[in-house]
Amino acid sequence: MHVTSLKLENFRNYGTLEIQPGEGLNIFVGLNAQGKSNLLESLYLLATSKSSRAGKDTELVRFDQPQARVTADVIRTKNSDVEIEIALSMTEKKVARINGVKHTRLAEVIGQLNAVLFDSGDLEIIRGEPSIRRRFLDLEIAQTSPRYVLALGSYRKTLEQRNRLLRDLRDGRVPGSARESLPAWNEGLAQHGARLIERRRLFLERLAQLASETHRTLSDERDSLEVVYQPSFSLDGLSEVGDIQGRFQEELASVAGEEAARGTTVRGPQRDDIAFRVNGQDCRLYGSQGQQRTVALSLKLAERQLIEELVGEPPLLLLDDVLSDLDDARRALLFELTARAGSQTFLSCTNLRAFSPGVLDRATVYAVSAGEVAKQ
């Protein structure tokens, strides 16, 4: 798939912008704070319905403007071509349009366009808090599975209500008899939760294989990588989603005392984690900066491959200022891998020194300055 036209209106530091990117490598070069990352972020928003950086959607709207809009025309080989638009407002919920038809349920928009973002935040997937790894999982699975988005929404809603009940019971805000409704909540939580766990397990199984192959190449066959799903309870011997649901309910029953005392749910996907082991050791705790970086890069390249497997065509690659973090050999390998993969690529950088003339000849280069973009 590739984007043939990208339009921004009052998005971040852009007033109006329209570009027709090339099918291969597109390089956005400019000084700091000119709008390079903002441009890549707009594509990420179209793919995932979420910002890669902002906490709130309102941060994406240009200062002093009431609303923003991002639109792209996308050519796809496995599906029909599509125009995707996301409108953001300071006062209302964001609205997406697919070929002009309005969708307020964002699950329908996610995955119309696929993109994998590489940025400085990737390292946090390896060394940050577990919540960052869960967010990574959710965003990536969502891109190829709208049903996952729906299950995630149902699970979150059930979890929130169950937590409120547990808290109210603990603090005596509701009569003790309210405890009788817990089994019904347990069933709902386990039903939605089991679907998330099953999907995460499958996704990580394949991602782990691909990541470890890529990692072997990136580390010159020196290091081995294992990516291991760590759910909040053991899935040993469970193959069906119904079995997971059953085990989840048993787990909830077994921790009832702890939950009553703490007033919150202590088992389930909201406690999941992923371990990255390099040569058998936890890379989060023991990996060098370079090793962590190599794991992060392997993970993203694996994700690219997995999306291609699932969707049937390569996703966009968004490389936000990552070249300076890579040594020459890895940089060359990244170019080789991505060129071979045939992904339309959007890359930001502050100068063109890292590119060989051969790479530059094939690329479309844009200079970015104060929210203006000029093709070179």
Ligand X SMILES: Nc1ncnc2c1ncn2[C@@H]1O[C@H](COP(=O)(O)OP(=O)(O)OP(=O)(O)O)[C@@H](O)[C@H]1O
Side-chain-facing half-sphere of 169: CA atoms under 13 Å? 23
**Shortest Cβ 296–Mg ion spacing (Å):** 17
When the beta carbons of 217 and 351 are compared against ligand X, the nearer one is 351
When the beta carbons of 15 and 342 are compared against ligand X, the nearer one is 15
Strands 281-282 and 273-278: antiparallel
Among 1-9, 60-68, 290-298, 351-359, the segment contacting ligand X (CB under 6 A): 60-68
CA–CA distance, 186 with 158 (Å, rounded to integer):
9
Residue nearest to Mg ion (CB): 37
Of 65, 33, 26, the closest CA to residue 360 belongs to 26
Q: Which residues in the 174-233 window bind ligand X by CB under 6 A?
A: none
Q: Which residues in the 26-55 window bind Mg ion by CB under 5 A?
A: 37
CA–CA distance, 302 with 329 (Å, rounded to integer):
19
**Shortest Cβ 26–ligand X spacing (Å):** 15
Instruction: Please provide the size of the chain in residues.
Output: 376
The contacts of residue 189 (CB under 8 Å, 6+ apart) are: 155, 158, 159, 162, 248, 252, 265, 268
Q: Is 10 left (phi over 0), alpha (psi -120 to 50) or beta?
A: left
Q: 67, 154, 212, 350: which one contacts ligand X (CB under 6 A)? A: 350
Backbone angles phi, psi at 145, to 5 degrees: -145, 95
Q: Which residues in the 5-44 window bind ligand X by CB under 6 A?
A: 12-13, 30, 32-38
When the beta carbons of 8 and 152 are compared against Mg ion, the nearer one is 8
When the beta carbons of 329 and 370 are compared against Mg ion, the nearer one is 370
Among 59-67, 89-97, 133-141, 206-214, the segment contacting ligand X (CB under 6 A): 59-67
- How many beta carbons lie within 10 A of that of residue 167, not counting itself? 14
Kind plus residue range of the DSSP H or E element containing 43:
helix 36-48
Q: Which does 30 bind (CB under 5 to 8 A by kind): ligand X, Mg ion, none?
A: ligand X
Q: Which does 33 bind (CB under 5 to 8 A by kind): ligand X, Mg ion, none?
A: ligand X
**Shortest Cβ 14–ligand X spacing (Å):** 8
**Shortest Cβ 290–ligand X spacing (Å):** 22
**Shortest Cβ 373–ligand X spacing (Å):** 11
Of 191, 203, 130, the closest CA to residue 157 belongs to 191
Among 58-66, 204-212, 266-274, 332-340, the segment contacting ligand X (CB under 6 A): 58-66
Binding mask of the shown chain, residues 289 to 328, with x at each position contacting ligand X by CB under 6 A: --------------------------------x-------
CA–CA distance, 257 with 269 (Å, rounded to integer):
20
When the beta carbons of 261 and 370 are compared against ligand X, the nearer one is 370
**Shortest Cβ 112–ligand X spacing (Å):** 24
CA–CA distance, 149 with 138 (Å, rounded to integer):
8
Cα-only R_g, the chain: 22
| Residue type (1 letter), 206 | R
Count of residues that interact with ligand X, criterion CB under 6 A = 17
Distance of CA 49 to the CA centre of its chain: 10
| H runs (alpha helix) in 145-175 | 146-170
Query: Which residues of this protein are in contact with Mg ion, per CB under 5 A?
Result: 37
Query: Which residues of this protein are in contact with ligand X, per CB under 6 A?
Result: 12-13, 30, 32-38, 59, 61-63, 321, 348, 350
